[in-house]
Amino acid sequence: MNYYFIIYKPYLVQSQFSPVEGKQTLADFFDVPTDVYPVGRLDYDSEGLLILTNDKQLNHRLLHPKFKHEREYWVQVDGAITHEAIAQLSKGVTIAVDGKQHLTAMAKVHRFEIDPEVPVRNPPIRFRKEIPAPWISMILHEGKNRQVRKMTASVGFPTLRLIRYRIEQLTIDGMQPGDLVTIPKASLFKQLFHE
């Protein structure tokens, strides 16, 4: 039997169920059948949408590079990000991936006029009164290791907080860190693959 869950992965949690010394893992928050695992990953210091399943086909369809899925990240950056920096991120920037230079694919990037409603993070980002920390939305079709953080750093605005908000039409709307929702396969596939 195949299971499908969506979770809001909390901050400072490894995207795996097996133990990691000194770190919290998904097993500290989510009680699911033993053959269920995350599809892809979110970095330890990132949070947000993660799919859990034991469906190997779904894993392949979401992770193989030939299938390009939209992923939207909400990114809080250090400093008043400029129009020029947003234009650079949109066009693509060069980052290091596995020791090689990689030009990122075109992305859709915009600054939020009003900060998005997001759960309180514990611990919060370091607040500095004189330096703004605006939010931007970044919509990517590729997922290199620590790509978003490398991209914002490359244009001079390091990432302070990173939330994966959406994969295709699947979002974490209404969810809090540590929440788990069981989702029917038909609904999940409709939102991910428009079937």
Contact 150, 101 (CB under 8 A): no
Same domain, 160 and 182: no
Same domain, 83 and 162: yes
Please tell me the pTM assigned to this model.
0.96
Signed CA dihedral, 110, 111, 115, 121: sign only: positive
Q: What is the CATH number of the domain that holds 19?
A: 3.30.70.580
Same domain, 81 and 154: yes
Query: In the numeric block, which tokens belong to residue 13?
Result: 């949690």
The CA distance from 27 to 148, in Å, is: 26
Q: If DSSP codes are grouped into helix, strand and coil, which group holds residue 34? A: coil
Does the structure show a pLDDT above 90 at 43?
yes
Domain count, the chain: 2
Parallel/antiparallel/unpaired status of strands 71-77 and 47-53 = unpaired
> What per-residue confidence (pLDDT) applies to 136?
98
pLDDT tens column, 155-183 = 999 999 999 999 999 999 999 999 999 99
Domain holding 138, by residue range, is 71-167
Averaged pLDDT for residues 126-142: 93
Same domain, 183 and 161: no
Averaged pLDDT for residues 92-108: 96
Q: What is the CATH number of the domain that holds 156?
A: 3.30.70.1560
Among 83, 75, 80, which residue's Cα sits nearest to residue 150?
A: 75
The CA distance from 107 to 97, in Å, is: 17
Same domain, 83 and 161: yes
Cis peptide before 123 (omega within 30 of 0): yes
Same domain, 135 and 177: no
The CA distance from 79 to 81, in Å, is: 6
> What per-residue confidence (pLDDT) applies to 98?
92
Q: For a pLDDT cut of 90, what percent of the chain falls above it?
A: 86
> What per-residue confidence (pLDDT) applies to 122?
86
> What per-residue confidence (pLDDT) applies to 40?
86
Same domain, 77 and 60: no
Same domain, 162 and 104: yes
Same domain, 183 and 150: no
Active-site entry in 28, 31, 35, 43: 43
Averaged pLDDT for residues 65-76: 89
Across the chain, what does the average pLDDT equal? 95
- Is residue 43 part of the annotated active site? The answer reads yes
